[in-house]
């Protein structure tokens, strides 16, 4: 069985950038944030910072905090039949981690990306996603994701990356990390 790695971190830390590095190396990447964006779109709702968080919370309230992970497991399983490594970008809760551990046991690991809050806020103001907003919205999102268990996941992760420098430096660090845990043959 292949290795499944989930990326965790607070908004704007660089989860998507790590996912790009892994995808560029030829491995499949699944985005849990894309799952929420798709749900918002399927409901025909205009996206704004409050809508994405509300829809994510409503899904968790209705179906349990592991709902996104449960939906994702079969898709990852399909990729594991072809690829030796699969990345899940944007794990946000301890319940999601439990679903993944149940599915893959020791073949599941977590990488945490950390960056200072002001650096993260500067980044989200530049990327222009519908779920990003002003500083108040950013702080609310940080609190909501902390409530889901993101900070606990960061502390318990098997791997840690810091992303407080330039994009190029982080991409290089991400490539070195990927090669250290999954050497290129």
Q: What is the pLDDT of residues 79-105, one digit of tens each?
A: 999 999 999 999 988 999 999 999 999
Backbone angles phi, psi at 14, to 5 degrees: 120, 20
Distance of alpha carbon 12 from alpha carbon 4, whole angstroms? 22
CATH topology assigned to domain 7-175: Rossmann fold (3.40.50)
37 pLDDT band (50/70/90 cuts)? Answer: confident
pLDDT in tens, 9-28: 999 999 999 999 999 999 99
Distance of alpha carbon 93 from alpha carbon 172, whole angstroms? 28
Nearest alpha carbon to residue 177 among 14, 34, 32: 14
Residue 153 has pLDDT above 80, yes or no: yes
Nearest alpha carbon to residue 39 among 26, 52, 21: 52
146 pLDDT band (50/70/90 cuts)? Answer: confident
């Amino acid at each position: 069985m292949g290795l499944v790695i989930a990326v965790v971190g607070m908004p704007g830390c660089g989860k998507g950038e790590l996912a790009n590095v892994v995808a560029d190396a030829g491995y499949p990447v699944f985005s849990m944030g894309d799952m929420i964006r798709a749900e918002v779109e399927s409901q025909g709702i205009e996206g704004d910072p409050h809508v994405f968080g509300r829809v994510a919370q409503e899904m968790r309230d209705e179906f349990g905090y592991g709902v996104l992970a449960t939906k994702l497991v079969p898709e990852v399983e399909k990729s594991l039949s072809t690829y030796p490594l699969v990345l899940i970008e944007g794990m946000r809760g301890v319940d999601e981690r439990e679903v993944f551990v149940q599915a893959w046991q020791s073949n599941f690991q977590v990488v945490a990306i950390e960056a200072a809050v002001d650096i993260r806020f500067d980044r989200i103001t530049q990327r222009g996603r519908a779920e990003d907003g002003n500083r108040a919205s950013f702080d609310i999102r940080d609190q909501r994701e902390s409530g889901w268990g993101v900070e606990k996941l960061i502390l318990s992760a098997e791997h840690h990356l810091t992303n407080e420098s330039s994009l190029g430096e982080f991409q290089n660090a991400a490539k070195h990390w990927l090669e250290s845990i999954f050497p290129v043959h």
